[in-house]
Amino acid sequence: MRIARTVVLSLSIVVLWASVGPQAADAVIRGTVADTAGKPIAGALVKATLGSKSVSRYTGADGRYELTVQPGTYALAAEAFGFATERRSKDASEAGATNFALAPSWSVTQFTGADIDRLIPDDHAPAQLLKSTCINCHALDVMLRRRGGTAAEWRAYVEKQMPLRYGRPYGASEAEWKVITSELERWFGPKGRYFGPGAEPPKPEQVRRPSMAPEVARATFYEYTMPNPRTMPHSLAVDRAGRVWVAGWDAATNAVVRFDIASEQFRTYPVPTPNAVPHTPCISRDGRVWMALNARGTAKVAMVDPATDQLAEIAWDEKQPGTHNCQEDRDGNLWFSSLGESDEGFYVYTPATRRFRSYKYPLPAAYPAGSKALRDTAEGDPTPAVRAGLYDAKVDSTGTGWGVTYSMGMIVSVNPRTGETKAYFPPDTPQIRGVMVDSQDNVWFAAFDNHKVGKLDPRSGAFTFYQPPTTKASPYSFVEDTRRGVIWFGDLNGNNLTRFDPRTETFVEYPFPSRNVNPRLGIGIDPQGRIWFTQFLNGRIGALDPGDMPPTTTSSR
């Protein structure tokens, strides 16, 4: 056990913009979306954008939409899968409907990562390496932004972007580079099947999407651009005062960012350590915000005290960097997952004593067949040594810590009073991303590469898996919604915010209103019941109002 080293930095404030005052009366933009023959289009997205804020809704079965907004002139866009986008300018104070007639258009640029994943076969080892490596950070639809590149051009792009965005080069062997870039050229290069610039797209019947649930048409999405639109907001947490705390993950931002929902303003708290990679926040019962710092030097976390508007950086100099997620236990200790250590994965910090401790647990002698670590290894490269690093960690009501390993499908628990550990290996699970312990102490986990939501009953050791409607969904993280009795999770591959009801074992997928959202570990629920998420590659945060709770503020908020 070691006492932590603390560095305190005064607050740096950046106000992005002041929105139209909250006293302004709401306006309504309404109309219909149909095809060119006049047939209503169900599930079309209509988005209204003014400055750095967007409001979006999906049409119902009759093709109608209604957006409640603040006064102003909006850029309107209507789109639907299989149709071309139509754009308008609309003064919200003008009376009359704004109707859209969308022309048919079939393009792979509308595909989600799940659509592309289904079209690239899994029975090909190089394709498996491509998917395991690339979907590690983002869905494959991101590749469409640069389609047409050769293997050499793909490598040059990655080698340039990683230091700029992440602060360090991409660590791959020459064998891995060869496989990954060759596969990128094969599928997204000049002659790429389906996805090359001049390729014939797949037939519509090859791209099967689930029907949109009727609940989606009752929901409203809100999106807000970060102060720097190139910021890569990794994860977030929402406090009881209605403030959203965001990880400014990229090297240029390198900060904890606060968003005040009522005023719609951002504040930025820079992290002293350069390229610290702020990863995932959590909020303790006293209102302090704790941010895991994933990189650089030694193990570190950042803490923001809203009462003083100061950020303190807390270091554990004896440990490796790689601090990931966090949660407060019943005794006020902060549990962090650690991805950087080879033989342990839990860091626990006690604020009262300013001391850290850690826990080790037994590891298998070799990675189980099909593990992510093996999928990430190119032919000819040595088999990697088994590592203990945890991607996520949570705590149950008894104080037991639960963690999930990054490089294989392993769940581990530790009793902090006795030091006893247990390991669980869910079947057909190459890796796990997020983990959550619900109010009944069930352990929910993101079977990311298995495209399912998993549940472990710690009492029996039994596993249950649930398949979302999107076949190639990639669940990433969870938040329990105790008021609604459901679980929400971000689906990276399917580009959805998904609701799961454990009582009925049913899903509702709410498609994000922007492409390439790539939700991460931290999502949160505000006091009004809205679900907040980050858009990792779009430089935005967003919120979903499902439309099923009485409004407590103006509906455009």
pLDDT in tens, the chain (557 residues): 455 666 655 444 444 433 333 345 699 999 999 999 999 999 999 999 999 999 999 999 999 999 999 999 999 999 999 999 999 999 999 999 999 999 999 999 999 999 999 999 998 899 999 999 999 999 999 999 999 999 999 999 999 998 888 888 888 999 999 999 999 999 999 999 999 999 999 999 999 999 999 999 999 999 999 999 999 999 999 999 999 999 999 999 999 999 999 999 999 999 999 999 999 999 999 999 999 999 878 999 999 999 999 999 999 999 988 898 999 999 999 999 998 888 888 999 999 999 999 999 999 999 999 999 999 999 999 999 999 999 999 999 999 999 999 999 999 999 999 999 999 999 999 999 999 999 999 999 999 999 999 999 999 999 999 999 999 999 999 999 999 999 999 999 999 999 999 999 999 999 999 999 999 999 999 999 999 999 999 999 999 999 998 754 433 44
Q: Residue 549: what pLDDT?
A: 81
Of 239, 233, 433, nearest in space to 337 by CA: 433
Are 161 and 147 in a shared domain? yes
Q: How many Cβ atoms are within 10 Å of 543's Cβ, its own excluded?
A: 23
Q: Residue 24: what pLDDT?
A: 56
Supply the CATH number for residue 44's domain.
Answer: 2.60.40.1120
**Domain count of the chain?**
2
Residue 78 in tokens: 């209507």
Q: Is 56 domain-assigned?
A: yes
Q: Is 40 domain-assigned?
A: yes
φ and ψ at 394, to 5 degrees? -140, 175
Q: Would you say 162 and 170 are in contact if contact means Cβ atoms under 8 Å apart?
A: yes
Q: Residue 6: what pLDDT?
A: 62
φ and ψ at 247, to 5 degrees? -85, 115
Q: Is 93 domain-assigned?
A: yes
Q: Is 406 domain-assigned?
A: no
Q: Is 379 domain-assigned?
A: no
Are 84 and 98 in a shared domain? yes
Q: Is 82 domain-assigned?
A: yes
Are 122 and 164 in a shared domain? yes
Rounded Cα–Cα distance for residues 427 and 370 (Å): 10
Rounded Cα–Cα distance for residues 378 and 316 (Å): 34
Are 89 and 32 in a shared domain? yes
The residue from 87, 106, 125 where one domain ends is 106
Q: Residue 397: what pLDDT?
A: 97
Q: Is 162 domain-assigned?
A: yes
119 dihedral zone (left: phi>0; alpha: psi -120 to 50; beta):
alpha
In the sheet that holds 401-405, the strands lie side by side as: 390-395, 401-405, 411-414, 421-424
Residue 422 in tokens: 């247990």
Rounded Cα–Cα distance for residues 304 and 242 (Å): 16
Rounded Cα–Cα distance for residues 92 and 90 (Å): 6
Q: Is 153 domain-assigned?
A: yes
Q: What is the residue range of 64's domain?
A: 27-106
Are 63 and 95 in a shared domain? yes
Are 38 and 99 in a shared domain? yes
DSSP 261-292: TTTTEEEEEE-SSTT--EEEEEE-TTS-EEEE
